[in-house]
A and B are shown apart, each in its own frame.
Chain A
Amino acid sequence: MPKGKVTFDYEMCKGCGLCVAFCPQHILYQDKVDLNKSGYNIIKVNDPEKCIGCAFCAMMCPDSVITVEVNK
């Protein structure tokens, strides 16, 4: 069971990539194909198991796109 889980409100995302840059586990990537309605490439998690629930991605996101849940 991963320590943390992230969910994206994709339509609010502007594809800025800050979450990708600051995830210490490097498990986020910007999809080359999938876009949101505004035409931004959305962010996905390539290895959810490694998520430690640090919430750096969510903190650094300017648009409150990411919600982070953790296992207590």
Chain B
Amino acid sequence: MEVKYRKSQGLTDKKLSYCPGCTHGIVHKLVAESLEELGVLGKSVGVASVGCSVFSYEFFNCDMQQAPHGRACAEATGIKRVLPNNVVFTYQGDGDLASIGIAETIHAANRGENITVIFINNAIYGMTGGQMAPTTLEGQRTTTSQDGRNHLIHGNPIKISEIFSQIEGAAYVERVSVYNPKQLMKAKKAIKKAFTYQVEKRGFTLIEVLSSCPVNWGMTPPDALKWIEEKMTPVFPMGVFKDSGEAHE
């Protein structure tokens, strides 16, 4: 018998800190597999943000830095500028990237920083216990929108991939999900492509992954994945939003 699927060497032995069924774990695998398959683990430097994935510096099997909330893309800029031949990525949730860190992320893209941003959109603040995020859906109940998000007072879910498609420095922007094996394989392809674009020095790449939060959504893990498909994808349509394609040194 031949091994078809095994744990990626891009992950450490540390047990993941995520809740049962949380898709953070799945996306960690896709990032780790991509770095492993591209043979760049030895020159990768990841930047962990602040949120549920704050501990990712213990999970990715490469050099890591842990950034203040929202500042991962600035930190990654500093790393990449002094280590231009390393593969630098950030791993950020929607609170970290779409709320407090949106300026750092937009400007890293606008400067065309040659980094890869893995953006986990689960429409809620997980680590802090289920508060409303910029990507929380209309009507979605959270601990800070207890009667459901109301756009009249809370505004509307923010569309990161659409926004970043307008930024010339962004070479590749795609929104994907992992709510079933088919979507997962597409997400893997997108993440690996983003890292490939970085290796080819094409500029800023960002993959937005629609993700689940079973505990704070109050659902079983399988139901949470259905909720992404039925409720999130209409608001956050998946697809490629930017693909500049040409390589530039």
Interface residues, chain A, CB within 8 Å of chain B? 4-5, 9, 12, 14-18, 21-22, 40, 53-56, 58-64, 66-72
Total A-B pairs in contact (CB under 8 Å)? 80
Residues of chain B contacted by A16 (CB below 8 angstroms): 20-21, 214, 221
Residues of chain B contacted by A5 (CB below 8 angstroms): 1
| Residue in chain B with minimal CB distance to A9 | B7
- The main secondary structure of chain B at its interface with chain A is mixed
Complex: how many Å from CA A1 to CA B101?
A: 53
In contact, A60 and B5 (Cβ under 8 angstroms): no
Complex: how many Å from CA A60 to CA B1?
A: 22
In contact, A69 and B1 (Cβ under 8 angstroms): yes
In contact, B24 and A62 (Cβ under 8 angstroms): yes
Q: Given A5-B1, A64-B29, does the pair A22, B21 have CB atoms closer than 8 Å?
A: no
Complex: how many Å from CA A66 to CA B1?
A: 15
In contact, B1 and A70 (Cβ under 8 angstroms): yes
Residues of chain A contacted by B158 (CB below 8 angstroms): none
Interface residues, chain B, CB within 8 Å of chain A? 1-8, 11, 15-16, 18-26, 28-29, 180-181, 184-185, 214, 220-222, 225
Complex: how many Å from CA A60 to CA B25?
A: 9
Residue from A12, A21, A68 within 8 A of B4 (CB atoms): A68
Inter-chain pairs besides A16-B221, A21-B225, 14 sampled, C-beta below 8 Å: A5-B1, A16-B21, A16-B214, A17-B21, A18-B225, A40-B20, A54-B181, A58-B5, A59-B5, A59-B181, A59-B184, A60-B181, A70-B1, A72-B2
In contact, B222 and A64 (Cβ under 8 angstroms): no
| Residue in chain A with minimal CB distance to B182 | A56
